[in-house]
Copies of this chain bind each other. A is one copy, B any other.
Amino acid sequence: MEEGTLKSPRHPTGTAPAPAPAAARCDYGDADPFQWDTREDCEVRQILDRIGDKWSLLVIALLDVSTLRFTELRREIDGISQRMLTVTLRQLERDGLVKRTVHPVVPPRVEYQLTPMGRTLHTTINALVIWTEEHQNQIAAAREEYDRRAATTP
């Protein structure tokens, strides 16, 4: 691999959805799977951040099963605050992964569903989840051994 240092920013997931920061340029074009990360703060990183954050995956998984209302999601996901559910949904909506539908009735009725792109993402994510399930025992064993050795040789 040629040199050309790597860089990566931290999660932009703040309180506000961020007003489009001039769209950091970043053109790939190659097919080298080992080059994707040699760029600055590309879209790849942004999606990975979404994957890695606390609630997005759960929301995506649930919405892939069925369309749900705000409160239904809140009830289904134990422990999530309404703030984080709102923030998470706004991010997913902004990325075009979730469609938000407001029904003009009282009381308000807002429904969330995955977009087609959201569904393909969930499919891809599932591969990772399956990998994890298949290797969780191996990982747990590795951790135990590591911790054991770390404890015996301080």
- Which of A's residues lie within 8 Å of B, judged by CB? 1, 3, 5-8, 10, 17, 19-20, 23, 28, 33-34, 36-37, 42-44, 46-49, 51-55, 57-58, 61-62, 64-66, 75-80, 93-96, 117, 120-121, 124-133, 135-136, 138-144, 146-147, 150-151
Given the known inter-chain contacts A43-B140, A53-B52, A65-B1, please indicate yes or no for A129 contacting B36, CB distance below 8 A: yes
CB distance from A20 to the nearest CB of B (A): 4
Total copies of the chain: 2
Q: Are the CB atoms of A48 and B139 closer together than 8 Å? A: no
CB distance from A34 to the nearest CB of B (A): 6
List of B residues within 8 angstroms of A147 by Cβ: 17, 19-20, 94
Q: What 7 A-B pairs have minimum CB-CB distances, sorted nearest first?
A: A52-B52, A96-B142, A5-B78, A43-B136, A94-B146, A20-B147, A124-B131
CB distance from A149 to the nearest CB of B (A): 10
Q: Are the CB atoms of A128 and B117 closer together than 8 Å? A: no
Q: Are the CB atoms of A144 and B51 closer together than 8 Å? A: no
Give 19 new A-B contacts, CB below 8 A, not counting A43-B132, A96-B141.
Answer: A3-B76, A6-B78, A7-B77, A8-B58, A17-B146, A19-B150, A19-B151, A20-B147, A36-B133, A44-B133, A46-B139, A51-B128, A52-B52, A95-B139, A95-B143, A96-B139, A124-B127, A124-B128, A125-B128
